[in-house]
Chain A
């Protein structure tokens, strides 16, 4: 019991006046907002690559959500077969299949952090802070994996050398200019990270004195 108590830390004194109670509520509120924003982000696109070529005046785009690829995937796959790239749908299948569940867990962890008033709160919230970086790292891994492993028997294998398109900004593949950009979902994930870090700051401000006080008692 005392281990648990040490872990979750002191409770907010029930006799503290209303003006003082607000400072305990601020980290709670920030954690809650962070969790909601992260949850919203699963419905929004995280990343997008647009391919521009003369015969595609509107461009071709692939839009990445945490759990799916949308846009002109079939057309891009059709073009990619000329250079021997595997269909995009074969990339990150595991990540996409568990993503919704994983983000749900991250959100629950953030909400759980509301009840932890010690430094252990970091354990509950750090995974969500790292999430957008993990997303980008995984994207880069798969783009590199696909770009560098082209089928040598493909029709244009001698014309297009293996390549890794930039994960942000412009690149060139054949007659295509590629433009990669972050989309709103990813920005919301970053915002979640910022909110959590802000919340941790206020959390420390609010609860550190209580923890210290308890320790001295």
Chain B
């Protein structure tokens, strides 16, 4: 029996193919219109193509008296709203004891990171126990030391390149070191150097951040002891400390760290070797004269006493070997800390000296690790040492020694080149085109000069030659180029950290801001224009490091509600909405509170005079930027509780009365209503 309606079997496959096409189309259409894409795609369309500046711009240029160079500088730095910076600079905050975070090329300040000094915005040191604990780690002999003279920030490195995970910074005044976690830009640890009262040559990191280097400066008896200046040569010592870093937990490990005793020369700055010189550390020094000052007693003041000899010593340290010696226990105990004595350092061949022109400042290792550049400060040259020549000279043996038995390598056999740059060369950074950049303090200029050796072919300039100087304003100290001390510098931007501003800004009285100046170093030869002046209203910022912004991946909000930023894990006292409570146990009152826009729970807290109060607050917000503050008058309580953060503070309820607490961050339209009463009932 044959059916009437014929059926074409290929129709079936057509239908199936059509269906698959429809499904694919539906799914792809859905994918395309994911929210947020539309606005960003539409944005560049407006005003994207204006090749000429146009009449409006011309009239503005005329009215403001701008030159074509000014206009070019403006175009290179102006960053319209919503556009983000390409680089992030971490700058020492000088004796504010903090760190600045600054965007490049806009030169906008993005953040101050509280480190050694209490800071109200971040609630750093105003009751929150975790912040108090970190600050207390910096106590010295029971003294609260609530400031720092931050000098040299150091970004953590992997393979000699910035990895964006941690930042270290030293406090010169008190020989302390701090660790900042770049997931939340908060300080996690402060360590006090157990053997030195003050330092200078820190923080520098080894290429994989195994060790954080802290060099000393003003020699003193190790372990904070007393000794008369008459015993300077015998009792006073310099030092370099190597702090072991636990990257996993983000903490320095004092029990795995060690120091090396140095002669009482003033060790200045250090840099870690990298690639070919990995495992070695270089520090420059001054006052090998061992001047002890005393201008009031008719002695030459330090400034001349420490500047008499033509040569000081670059310290060359075999860190890998020193770590083995320390691990083997060949150390002396100073203030509970292992120190490799000078005698051991010499016996184990851990330390060598190379003469360097008098009173230099700064020793900087080239990107490939082949050369060490020492700046003259009182000598118009930079002196370039070859690591290979240093190794060859060490291998050849037969050295002179200094008074402490340290071998001194022959100057001529370790020097690769000397380049005359100008007056007061201080610090050197590098780019990706075979140039080095050195600050000239007395000339108030940044010098560009060409490297030789493996860098010779990267530019057209002759090797080891001054190429160009750009004036800066004024008295430049450190300079920082984009990733300019790593194994792969980026070039592009350089910031000159000037000590004096003089006439660059409107007068604000006799105490002037510092001047950070942005230079465009993307060109070659004599093209190195100044782009922007940024006043920094804080004391004596020293060094800065500049990292590509996309290497940083900080959290937008803490990973989960109830996060303790100090332990970087969930806080056992975190509470979710509905779990808030107040518990009394004898004289102790414990409060578990939540904060959310726009109320605290509970809003009434009743306490009796004389109670000890333990107060936990969890910000249960998940929204970007929904930070809540919390303050209590009289008791000096001020917290910053970022989205997801849980924090704790404690106090003794000594004063009775009615205290209104409130949210100090303008969190919402009902921010003023985000308040509550703490009622402290009198004990009588």
Contact = CB atoms under 8 A, between A and B. Distances in A.
B5 A205 contact: yes
B67 interface: no
A36 to B, nearest CB: 10
B336 to A, nearest CB: 49
B26 A187 contact: yes
Interface stretch (B15-23, B109-117, B402-410): B15-23
A33 B30 contact: no
B23 A30 contact: no
A2 interface: no
6 contacts: A16-B3, A23-B5, A82-B670, A183-B30, A184-B30, A195-B19
Given A13-B1, A188-B23, A58 B35 contact: yes
A164 interface: no
A46 to B, nearest CB: 11
A22 B7 contact: yes
Contacts of A191: 19, 22-23, 26
B16 A187 contact: no
Contact of B9 (A22, A74, A187): A22
Contacts of B4: 209
Interface string A8-46: 000001001011101101100110010001000000000
B14 to A, nearest CB: 11
Contacts of A23: 5, 7
A57 B1 CA distance: 70
Contact of B15 (A30, A72, A78, A183): A30
B7 A155 contact: no
Interface of A is mostly: helix
Interface of B is mostly: loop
- 5 nearest A-B residue pairs (beta carbon): A23-B7, A184-B30, A22-B9, A187-B26, A50-B35
A49 B33 CA distance: 13
A147 interface: no
Interface string B8-46: 010110011001001100110010010110010000000
Contacts of A37: 23
Contact of A59 (B16, B23, B35, B622): B35
Contact of B27 (A16, A50, A82, A184): A184
A25 B23 contact: no
A155 B19 CA distance: 51
A122 to B, nearest CB: 21
B26 A188 contact: yes
A75 interface: yes
Interface residues of B, number: 31
A184 B12 contact: no
A20 B1 CA distance: 11
Contacts of B5: 23, 205, 209
B35 A74 contact: no
Contacts of B39: 57
Nearest to B19: A33
A1 to B, nearest CB: 25
A20 B673 CA distance: 78
Given A16-B3, A29-B12, A78 B621 contact: yes
B528 interface: no
A139 B673 CA distance: 35
Contacts of B6: 19
A103 B11 CA distance: 30
A74 B12 contact: no
B597 interface: yes
Contact of A19 (B1, B7, B598): B7
B390 to A, nearest CB: 55
Given A22-B7, A29-B12, A48-B35, 15 more contacts: A13-B1, A16-B3, A19-B9, A25-B12, A26-B11, A61-B35, A78-B596, A78-B597, A181-B33, A183-B30, A184-B27, A187-B26, A191-B23, A209-B3, A209-B4
Interface in A147-187: 155, 181, 183-184, 187
Contact of B623 (A78, A187, A205): A78
B138 to A, nearest CB: 38
Contacts of A205: 5
A18 B7 CA distance: 10
B3 A59 contact: no
Contacts of A29: 12, 16
Contacts of B3: 16, 20, 209
Contact of A26 (B12, B598, B670): B12
Interface string B660-673: 00000000011001
B667 to A, nearest CB: 11
Nearest to A37: B23
